[in-house]
Amino acid sequence: MAEAERIIGTPDIPEAEGHEGAEPEQTAGSGSPEAVEPDGQDADSAAADAAVDRSPATRRRRIILLFCVAVLAYLLDLGSKMLVVAKLEHQEPIEIFGDWLKFDAIRNAGAAFGFGEAFTIIFTIIAATVIVVIARLARKLYSLPWAIALGLLLGGALGNLTDRIFRAPGVFEGAVVDFIAPAHFAVFNLADSAIVCGGILIVLLSFKGLDPDGTVHKD
């Protein structure tokens, strides 16, 4: 019997199968942990960036939207001021909701809501700077909410800057026309409202981690 076993021999067994219960070697891309992204957050960010449409057509649409919002805000502000100057200035205030809200035309040489009347030229420079910054941001604008926010800022800044340039007492020293007078609050205009709404929207977008180019990041 022993001689027969010696003659027949023992069949060769592959090394991988020589040990019972041994696991086959895993290769890259086979679902092993090494194939998974080391940082899930980075993977999510990369996927979000890839989903952003950064085509030239998208950027053109966002820029068009920005300027449409800006033009609408500017025209509403300009038209309301022209109407106020023609019909309300030097007249008694008009009550809208009793003493809670009135239309009362005043000339404001300061910033929004009547602050800083001694720094008219400085506020004029700030408004012009805001317009330049918005124009530069528009070159990498792919986010719809950012287009609306920047449009509101641009329209409001242009509205008040127009007053600074063309109204008395002189160029770059003109007083802004304000007329919305809530009770226990400063008098303001539609340009101020557009600037505040645009600023609040930008703060919210920043908290959400959304950048003007459409990138979403998480701190």
Identify the CA nearest to 190 among candidates 199, 202, 178, 181. 178
Q: Please state, for a pLDDT cut of 90, what percent of the chain lies above it.
A: 55
pLDDT in tens, 21-43: 444 444 444 444 444 444 555 55
- pLDDT of the residue at 186: 87
Regarding pTM above 0.85, the answer is no
Angle, nearest 10°, between helix axes 144-166 and 120-137? 150
* Amino acid occupying residue 57: A
Catalytically annotated residues: 178, 192
Give me the pLDDT at residue 31, please. Answer: 46
Q: What is the pLDDT of residues 179-200, one digit of tens each?
A: 999 999 989 999 999 999 999 9
Number of Cα atoms under 13 Å in the Cβ half of residue 16 = 4
Cβ neighbours for 58, distance < 8 A, ≥ 6 positions apart: 142
Q: Mean pLDDT in the chain?
A: 81
| CA-based nearest residue to 153, from 39, 56, 81, 67 | 67
User: Which tens digit of pLDDT belongs to each residue from 42-98?
Assistant: 555 555 555 678 899 999 999 999 999 999 999 999 999 999 999 999 999 999 998
